[in-house]
Structure 1
């Protein structure tokens, strides 16, 4: 949604497009600022990517300037979405090990709740009668 919005699509159009989607149990937003993002991208094996630099819609031939502009817009849109939809936000400016710890703490309760999902559900006689019987049973 954020990528579509920064490329000029209206919020209403994007929300209508994705309106069919199920509401997830959890959305975690890794919040970072441009000052911390640029060194991480430059230290990766891919560097500045065409799409992640907004080269498809930004007019400047300067890939770095486009990257900063596009990512600044994306970060603002993700922050707006995080506030609007109550995402769990993790400060991604910190060392990876600390971010990982926070991610585990955010995700674990959701995973734990899945372990008991359906454990208190009993099959009705009607549903049981519709189950095909196996040969010899």
Structure 2
């Protein structure tokens, strides 16, 4: 399947079209919130809030901040990560990596809706203490 480039606005429009499906409620852009001195974020990152207020889904969009356009071929994929607010702080679990092909947005929606439907049974996932650790999962 060929690589599918897209703009920031396209990515956001697709997120908006997913609202209300499964347990997906609303999304927000959180790149600056997640960035730190140790971890520079070069792409737009989004949080999809769920009907379970303790859970949300983080999406690394692969849209480069400097151009508002998806990155070059083979540079990465859209990463989907669970975020769970526990008594002991935030923990994370990898959900999926979606390649930027023609069916990206359909594949992404299926993964988001499926994961959101698990939001009241999060023990089926393996959890780590930082988003960066999800790369090793």
Could you say which TM-score interval applies, normalised by the shorter chain?
A: under 0.3
Structure exhibiting the larger radius of gyration computed from Cα positions: 1
Considering fraction of residues, name the structure with more strand.
Answer: 2
TM-score by length of 2: 0.26
The structure showing larger relative contact order (alpha-carbon pairs under 8 Å, at least 6 residues apart) is 1
